[in-house]
């Protein structure tokens, strides 16, 4: 009887040992499979510094691109081209730069931070005068000199390309000195648009693309392209990116028919 009990206990222990070993093997197998899958799928996050005026179009392109490339996450840093250029010059971890001004882009090329062969002039834009919806006190650039007009917003022209173009245009029109005291500077073109939308200023100079995407402002005049520098949007791959191949894929995607169609829908011209 005693031997029988010992034998049964022995069998029970062996059963527990076998089950434990089996579970460990399954766990190891599952772990190995997960590790193999992890090793075959490379997940990458790209950081794109882009002019604020590109925001609406780029967010549409972002959704489409990530659906087609689930292994790539696009993170955007929108702002004035001048501020973004300075960040990159100071070592900000960026993979691509999409500027609203050739000057800011060329500066990075000269610094050796973008190779010429990894850059292209992609888009164009135009400068317009906008006022709050349903206002009628301004119908032309000349109306900005009226005594009842108190405030006109443009981007800070040292860092915001749209502000630089606006100042150039107003100077060529011969009205800059007369209205300079009325100028309200903004950190980027989107802030100019916001000031006009909320009625905090009487008028503002923004890109046509921004104005077209707002139902709170009205375009009353367009600046002659001949009286300010050409509005060109170059894009390029940052030389020290850690994800060159993935950055190149997105760079090329932005030149595809699908992406260019999105840009056109948002009012940009294709170079």
Query: Which residues define the annotated binding site?
Result: 53, 81, 162, 189, 207
Collect contacts of 36-39 with beta carbons under 8 A, ≥24 apart: none
- CB of 74 closer than 8 Å to CB of 250: yes
Contacts of 247 (CB under 8 A, 6+ apart): 46, 95, 96, 237, 238, 241
Cα distance between residue 125 and residue 27, in whole Å: 58
Residue ranges of the annotated binding site for molybdate are 53, 81, 162, 189, 207
The DSSP letter of residue 199 is T
């Amino acid at each position: 009887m005693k031997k029988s009990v010992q034998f049964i206990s022995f069998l029970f222990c062996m059963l527990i040992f076998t089950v434990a070993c089996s579970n460990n093997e399954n766990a190891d197998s599952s772990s190995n499979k997960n590790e193999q899958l992890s090793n075959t799928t490379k997940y990458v996050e790209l950081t794109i510094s882009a002019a604020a005026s590109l925001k609406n179009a780029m967010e549409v392109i972002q959704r489409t691109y990530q659906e087609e490339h689930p292994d790539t996450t696009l993170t955007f840093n929108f702002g004035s081209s001048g501020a973004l250029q300075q960040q990159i010059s100071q070592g900000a971890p960026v993979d691509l730069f999409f500027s609203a001004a050739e000057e800011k882009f060329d500066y990075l090329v000269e610094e050796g931070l973008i190779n010429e062969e990894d850059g292209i002039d992609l888009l164009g834009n135009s400068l317009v005068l906008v006022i709050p919806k349903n206002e009628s006190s301004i119908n032309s650039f000349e109306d900005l000199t009226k005594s009842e007009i108190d405030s006109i917003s443009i981007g800070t022209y040292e860092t915001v390309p749209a502000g630089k173009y606006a100042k150039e245009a107003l100077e060529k029109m011969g009205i800059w000195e007369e209205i300079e005291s009325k100028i309200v500077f903004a950190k980027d073109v989107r802030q100019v648009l916001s000031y006009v939308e909320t009625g905090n200023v009487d008028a503002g100079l923004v890109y046509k693309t921004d104005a077209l995407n707002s139902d709170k402002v009205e375009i009353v005049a367009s600046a002659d392209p001949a009286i300010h520098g050409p509005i060109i949007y170059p894009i390029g791959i940052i030389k020290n990116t850690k994800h060159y191949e993935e950055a190149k894929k997105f760079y090329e995607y932005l030149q595809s028919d699908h992406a260019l169609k999105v840009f056109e829908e948002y009012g940009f011209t294709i170079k």
